[in-house]
Amino acid sequence: MNFKLTTDNLETIKADLEVIIIINKNLEHTFVKDKKSLDKVGFEGSQEEICLLPESKRLYVGSESIKSTDIRSAIAVAIRSLKNTKFKHIKIAIYMSHSKCTAVLRGMVEGMILGDYTFDQYKSKKSKKALKEVTISLEEYHGYKLDQESCQRAINNAKIGANATNYTRDIVNTTPDDCYPAVMAKIAKRLAKKSDLTCTILKPKRLREEKMNTLLAVARASRHTPRVIHLAHKPKNPKAVVSIVGKGLTYDSGGLSLKPADYMVTMKADKSGGSAVMGIMKAVSEMNLPIEVHGFVGAVENMIGGDAYKPDDVLVAKNGKTIEVRNTDAEGRLVLADVLCYAQQEVKADYLFDMATLTGACVVGVGHYTSGVMGNSKMPVDMVLNAANKISGELASKLDFNRYLGKTIKSEIADICNISNTRYGGAITAGMFLSEFIDEEHKDRWAHIDIAGPAFVEHTWGENPHGASGAGVRLMLRLIEKLSRGDKH
């Protein structure tokens, strides 16, 4: 999809279709030229409601507000509705909340790219997309005078962020037989070469030297050996250093604590955190942000077999802590424990984040569409919540640690247990387990993001398709962009 920004008035631009966003059900605005037709079909302009009028060459879509979060999802639904049509070229004007804010324009372009996404790698008949050109006029419906350079920059950043999200979606959607740890490492190497990132791959021999015994235990029964991936973006004189750790379970059978058959379907999505890390690194490099960013991925497959790790085993993590295994399906936290330790060993970061499809309990707690955010300190958690809910359009909710839940992961025979002794508060106890592997230097700089809810949903929602959403990419990119401007909150 090609985007062109022009100073030409909308009326003078030749296109197959004009897309018009109705804000807050305001059908009385002068740019609404089909009031009678819209009234006849009962179009009210509610959020994501669409009405295509091919005779007048106009597509109307409703948005609750002028906020980028609403505009993004509305325009995504509009673009998605055109997939089976023959419209090749659309035109649209700019919508702004005020004259110097390009966030709405960025959200609009992101919505177009995200809404146009299709994953048809395994279809014998590939989808054909007619829409190729989008012309955006600097004509603004409030009459604001806009800076063309700022608007072009917003479009460019939108393209980078949305394409990185779609890149992540592709990795997550790829089947486990086609995307296992060695393949993820190859993807990372290709990305590094193309995006001017440094890339280090740790194979089993090096993992044993690094004493990543919990990660190796999870990987033991798989024919696919594990990898730890380290990607780095290192600009000169960075304003801050950020490390992001991702869970990359290319498939999770549950191990000997085998998942029920229904729960095993979609477990290709257990690599969503690690895939998001690669998408984030892609975007950060392409934007060339003045922040040093390190991405770490623990790529592992959790399978069953004669060499599988077992409930009742006691494992020794990289930092020397012992872990009683009571459930082999609580494997992601074991992988993250070692990778978090390794990340802190390799990089002394100003901010440390981890992203993982860690617990079904988080989905129970906050729903399919929302990530759970937790940590020892208010500052990094608030950074994530702000980047999610106020800027990127991703939804996130805070989950508080407390000492009573902390007691439920105590072990009688080891330092800690990999699951709690209660079925309640599982997302929080998983986060508290991870906090045991955060050193004193990073204790108040770390936040854990459980993306189990939004990472993979089997229906379309907003700007997200059936399947992988690329959760975490836009969120973390916006957070890093704010740091590049010297603003934490």
CB 302 within 8 A of CB 249: yes
Q: Which of 189, 211, 259, 488 is catalytic?
A: 259
- The phi-psi region of residue 351 (left if phi > 0; otherwise alpha if psi is between -120 and 50; otherwise beta) is beta
Residue 185 lies in a domain: yes
User: Does a structural domain hold residue 469?
Assistant: yes
In the chain, count H helices and then E strands.
15, 19
Same domain, 142 and 245: no
Residue 276 lies in a domain: yes
Q: Return the pLDDT at 99.
A: 63
Rounded to the nearest integer, the mean pLDDT of the chain is: 96
The answer as to whether 444 is a domain residue is: yes
Strands (E), 203-289: 227-233, 241-252
pLDDT per residue over 139-183, tens digit each?
887 778 888 999 999 999 999 999 999 999 999 999 999 999 999
Both tokens assigned to 289: 């942000």
The answer to whether residue 259 is catalytic is: yes
Determine the structural domain holding residue 464 and report its residue range.
Answer: 175-484
Q: 466 and 372 in one domain?
A: yes
332-349 pLDDT, tens digit per residue, is 999 999 999 999 999 999
**What whole-number distance in Å separates Cα of residue 319 and Cα of residue 333?**
14
pLDDT at 464 over 60: yes
Residue 315 lies in a domain: yes
Same domain, 333 and 467: yes
Mean pLDDT to the nearest integer, 337-365: 98
User: Of 126, 146, 166, which marks where a domain is finished?
Assistant: 146
pLDDT, mean of residues 219-228: 98
pLDDT at 488 (0 to 100): 58
166 within domain boundaries: no
Residue 14 has pLDDT above 70, yes or no: yes
Question: Which of 333, 445, 474, 478 is the catalytic position?
Answer: 333
Same domain? 202 vs 106: no
The answer to whether residues 63 and 108 belong to one domain is yes
Q: Are residues 137 and 207 in the same domain?
A: no
- The domain that holds 461 is classified in CATH as 3.40.630.10
pLDDT of residue 486: 81
User: Does the residue 333 lie in any domain?
Assistant: yes
Residues 32 and 78 reside in one and the same domain? yes
* pTM given for the model: 0.97
Containing H/E element for 373? strand 370-374
Domains in the chain, number:
2
Do 195 and 50 fall into the same domain?
no
486: left (phi over 0), alpha (psi -120 to 50) or beta: left
**Same-domain pairing of 92 and 237:** no
Tell me: do 236 and 368 sit in the same domain: yes
User: Do residues 181 and 138 share a domain?
Assistant: no
For position 185, what pLDDT does the model report?
98
CATH number where 23 lies: 3.40.220.10
Please report whether residue 291 resides in a domain: yes
Is residue 129 located within the same domain as residue 196?
no
